[in-house]
Amino acid sequence: MRELSDVTYEVSDGTAVITIDRPDRMNSFRGQTVDELIYCFKTAWASKDVGVIILTGAGDRAFCAGGDVKERAETGSYGPTEWGTFEIERLHRMIRDVPKPVIAAVNGVAVGGGHVLHVLCDLSIAAEHARFGQSGPKVGSFDAGFGSAYLARVIGEKRARQLWYLCELIDAPTALSWGLVNEVTPAAELLSTAREWAAKINAKSPTALRFLKHSFNADTDHLSGLSHLAFDGLDVFSDTEEAAEGATAFAEKRAPDFTRFRR
């Protein structure tokens, strides 16, 4: 294993636990976080000691608050990366493509790009206090690829549009009733429940699971093309005054004023 600063990785009993470890920033991701997550998923993919992967966040406040908006407001980007490119789309693909089930253990708020990460996981188990939602239009961003179209597949068009247009968080019981998560547990039991589910899955045929995961994916894999277009668009949009207004307003703890950008 290489040295990691934003993520931790540990394996026991056939299960890899990947933890986003930036609790002072609500486990939001910067470029380096994304690079390290990709590295951990690839490591788990290649390891014969791993049958199931759990993705979670450090502490009890956040699973992941999406992109690090403070970093973006300060520097105009999500910071340096290994190859000079922000690889969030590759991470999305990695979660879908890794031929082993991925369980999101949602230990707090999952919002923005952090919400997209749990949506892309095969299964989601939430702590009772977890909250869920999208925030892009409030902070000058959007995920018009898997983050919108696949979300609509999971919870339905009306609810997906509600999350994206209103940018209000929903609680764990509502997420369960919408089919956004599989199970809600007391916070203290979250990781043990995720490990129990992983143990049950690990007792099954890995080849059968591999075929099933790819079969489930096949029906929505065309959204990859949409995702490319969406991230191309986001790249262009990110350099606009309109996007900057969202990130700056968040960093300055004020409501954004987008009125001058209406067309």
Ligand X SMILES: CC(C)(COP(=O)(O)OP(=O)(O)OC[C@H]1O[C@@H](n2cnc3c(N)ncnc32)[C@H](O)[C@@H]1OP(=O)(O)O)[C@@H](O)C(=O)NCCC(=O)NCCSC(=O)c1cc(O)c2ccccc2c1O
Question: At a CB cut-off of 8 Å and minimum separation 6, what does 60 contact?
Answer: 107, 108, 127, 129, 187
Among 15, 32, 107, 141, binds ligand X (CB under 6 A): 141
Site for ligand X contains 6 (CB under 6 A)? no
- Site residue total, ligand X (CB under 6 A): 22
| Residue 36 binding ligand X, by CB under 6 A | no
17 is in an annotated binding site: no
Q: At what angle do helices 88-97 and 223-238 cross, to 10 degrees?
A: 160
Residue of the chain from 57, 101, 112, 256 that contacts ligand X (CB under 6 A) = 112
Q: 184, 173 in Cβ contact below 8 A? A: yes
Among the listed residues 17, 69, 180, 184, the single contact to ligand X using CB under 6 A: 69
> Which residue in this structure is represented by tokens 């699971």?
209
Q: What amino acid is encoded at 177 in this protein?
A: S
Shortest Å distance, C-beta 48 to ligand X: 31
**Looking at beta carbons only, is 101 or 246 nearer to ligand X?**
246
Q: What is the distance in angstroms between the CA of the first residue and the CA of the last residue of the chain?
A: 50
Q: Per CB under 6 A, does 202 bind ligand X?
A: no
In the shown chain, the binding pattern of residues 219 to 248 toward ligand X, with x for contact by CB under 6 A and - for none, equals: ---------------x---x----------
CB-CB contact of 23 with 57 (8 Å): yes
**Encoding tokens for residue 193?**
């429940």
Q: Is 113 in the site for ligand X (CB under 6 A)?
A: yes
- Compute the half-sphere exposure of residue 141: CA atoms within 13 Å on the CB side of its CA: 24
Give the binding site for ligand X (CB under 6 A). 25-26, 28, 65-70, 86, 88, 109, 111-113, 135-136, 139, 141, 143, 234, 238
